[in-house]
Structure 1
């Protein structure tokens, strides 16, 4: 029987070489095959194993990617990067363009990731004996070919819309692998301490959030920028105002520190806003003053404006403020899970136009 090679992942060359060594340490034969995703030359490499070794290779791959790690690893300043999941939708194109713009300002690398379902890996329950199935392998070949072809077309279109000269100024890497997108996005981000994940809502319309995006939002330990379906494309230097929804918690100051790091090269005003259902208490006023003083002492060069708002309906109160102040980005931390749930609740979104055009930056303290 002819030996069949199965692609288990596409990686940048340097990472592919390390994975190949890991596989060979486990006595698993592997091969590397360059693929040309850009006209300038091969930038990524297929890591392939024999079909009979897939069952043994997958645990090595998952360990290499960090799937067993639950903690966030310490970052490497030489490897600061922004992770951008790609699904080839129309929304992904403008999401990637915004991510590119951010990476250009922060002088960070872009890592584009696409995950696809591989019939061999995701449809066959492995037993002690693997039954060769030529039909399944044909479907696997087709899934891999479609993923690579679509990725190449997408990157070519993206680089052309950005401008090829600008494109070359930002270092980029490409990862194409069979797997479940939510798991692999989180795994890569935590293993490599991504500076930021930038992704679309993925829900198919402005009033829902897709399951993959929702899973990443709730479980990521790194900041996530969610770009809505109706977001109007703009350059990053056109962003002038950010709203940070605060509850005066200690975690807010950790998130603000991360926010300032992302905003470092930009002249953006940050509104720290707290909404009280009842009339603003003296305690809220005192905490607001304390926040003002602390932010002024820590970030003298940044423009912070702390506000107390009163309203029975939290979302409507924030929405009015967003419209009145022409807010460009909404930001919050996930310790207020109820707030996030309400933001993404379809019944709420149908009643009001909230965050449907405004990117949402989520921190995880």
Structure 2
């Protein structure tokens, strides 16, 4: 190797050594900071990208959900299931239709219903129930009540409207004494259990001339004589309003006789029994068998809800057809003509 070649090689090796030692003037600590900063920027870039994608997707999913419930009237159908379930399974409870609220979210809908019942001559707001839906599947309702005697929670044992072949689970005298202890200037709601099954016409004759109003009929559908099914689920009453509902939105608004609306509502709920069972406080509606029984045997009533002046309801204790009575809500006098 010539002297010039050796000098060139030494120059190259020296330059390499200087590069390794100096590292372009950047220390190892500075290099680590640069690497961390790069990783952080990469992470934020990923997060921002994901957020941008979500902000684009969420409106699309929301629009899809609105379309799902709007197309084919799914939202209205689910509201109708909730509406009719309450009318048929909650004695003397109405749904305030014009105050139904719906909230649609991604793949879900929440339906809030305001509930009321008639005590004396006035409709009283008793609370509200909120029913969550995931697509067309209902979840357990969340209910809030603002009355003295709120409906029993799920699961509940029906001791208010008792079939004549079933045992009363309360003291008759004690319930009558509760009414006797109320001031004269009050109106009350009462749950009556009869000594046998009656037709609607027979009950109307029995209550003719009494200063009170029949509000709801408990219909015998073949299994109310047992209070607990073989699987341990309590058998609940099912029935319909005794009066025409002045609210035009109500299924019992007088366009058809209440008895026909009751049968039509049973047929409708039979097609949506899973949703209806989730909404109802009873967890076993067994609508197919109950509908078949009523269609074959007609409508017979074993109990009813009435409202009126407390002193007038007390007179029912003298009637042999009233086997038992449980007191419901009580209000100050409002029995005005």
TM tier relative to shorter chain: under 0.3
Q: TM-score, normalised by structure 2?
A: 0.26
Q: TM-score, normalised by structure 1?
A: 0.24
Higher relative contact order (CA 8 A, sep 6+): 2
Q: Which has the larger radius of gyration?
A: 2
